Structure 1
Amino acid sequence: MFPGLDDLIETLRRRGKNPVDEREARSVDTFLTELARLERPFDEHADPVHVTASALITGIRGVILLKHKKLGIWVQPGGHIDEGETPADAAVRESVEETGLPVSLLKNQAVQVDVHPGPRGHTHLDIRFLCTVPDDDPRPPEGESQEVFWFGWPQAIEMADDGLRGLLIARQP
């Protein structure tokens, strides 16, 4: 058993009862179907379809987004789950790595799931958590995307892809 897998299945059932939009409802169904067949769902090398984790980072300035180095689109921080990590652990770790800021998980409960294409022909089953950081400018380290910025909610909603847009609309103050 993988750390956090039972919690993930429970989260998916909960998200399916209250999705932020129709896309998330479809994503929950796909997520559950794929989890049933995946032997190692958190291992990016085991199958081109795998679970990833990301963070919607919010603060008084709005939302932090970064320009994905391979895909060239604006996304929330996140990435693959390392061995022994839960999805929430991975969302926080990836966010710290990509923003250079201390990231705090607001609640150990997913706020959205989304199924979308990833690099190299992979499919990401992404579980998203709500996080916060101090009111500082991101300081991404060398090797990470250097395009990491705070955006006001209206601009972030406009820039986001369809999967993230639904979450931003649901969460905007």
Structure 2
Amino acid sequence: MERHFTVSGFVSQRGETALHWHRLGMWLPPGGHIEPDEDPIEAVRREVLEETGLAVEVVPTAPAYGDWAYPPQLPAPVTMGVYDIEAGGPHQRASHQHIDLVYFTRPTPGQPLLLPDNDEEGWLWVSAETLQAGEVLRSPHGGEAAIAEDVRRLGIDAIEAVRALETGAA
């Protein structure tokens, strides 16, 4: 089976995380394919910027392994999920899998925290309370669905990781 490496970046701030209504009919964080000659950190920062307009930094969730100077280490993803992508539609000509490296991120200081307002994708800042409640969310253009369990739990953990970093509890 064909497999693609992808990244997802949970962007969290002020007790909320950014999700959008994806064309597949579900709520997802920003993310996408890792491009050739791009490392996962570059990919997640690029994808978040392209999709939300926000410049972000990755929030480390585990210490670096070892203290050597070379080779440099990249922050480890929070988790890696394997998602089956079914054939159909212009973007899924054949069934394949996405091996998704998930990162927690936060906006870099000094920028407006505005999400895109467009007709194609409905972006929302979703609170930890809403994620915990498992509410059905409606997109600005009418789509609605409950947030998938993995997205809910990762969103809650991303909010907590950013909060801990900002309060010095990390």
Asked which structure has the greater RCO (Cα within 8 Å, sep 6+), the reply is 2
Contact 1:66–1:145 under 8 Å retained in 2: no
* Cα separation, 2, equivalents of 1:156 and 1:169: 7
The one-character-per-residue Cα deviations of 1:104-127 (angstroms, maximum 9, x if unpaired) are 222322112111123622211101
Unaligned runs of 5+ in 1: 1-46
Contact 1:63–1:156 under 8 Å retained in 2: no
Q: Percent identity?
A: 27
* Cα separation, 2, equivalents of 1:126 and 1:86: 13
* Cα separation, 2, equivalents of 1:166 and 1:109: 18
* Cα separation, 1, equivalents of 2:15 and 2:112: 7
Alignment size in residue pairs? 124
Contact 1:81–1:90 under 8 Å retained in 2: yes
Deviation at 1:137, TM superposition (A): 1.6
Q: Of the candidates 163, 167, 170, which is equivalent to residue 150 of structure 2? A: 163
Q: Of the candidates 113, 124, 137, which is equivalent to residue 149 of structure 1? A: 124
TM-score under structure 1 length normalisation: 0.62
The one-character-per-residue Cα deviations of 1:79-103 (angstroms, maximum 9, x if unpaired) are 0011101112111111110101122
* Cα separation, 2, equivalents of 1:80 and 1:62: 25
Deviation at 1:164, TM superposition (A): 2.1
Contact 1:65–1:76 under 8 Å retained in 2: yes
- Higher fraction of strand: 2
Deviation at 1:162, TM superposition (A): 2.7
TM-score under structure 2 length normalisation: 0.63
Q: Does 1:50 align with 2:37?
A: no
Q: Which amino acid in structure 1 is aligned with residue 77 of structure 2?
A: A
Match for residue 110 of structure 1? 77
Larger-Rg structure: 2
Unaligned runs of 5+ in 2: 61-74, 87-91, 135-145, 161-170
Contact 2:56–2:106 under 8 Å retained in 1: yes
Q: Of the candidates 114, 124, 143, which is equivalent to residue 137 of structure 1? A: 114
Distance 1:97 1:91, change over 3 A: same
- Higher fraction of helix: 1
* Cα separation, 1, equivalents of 2:120 and 2:8: 15
Match for residue 30 of structure 1? none
* Cα separation, 1, equivalents of 2:115 and 2:47: 13
* Cα separation, 2, equivalents of 1:128 and 1:92: 12
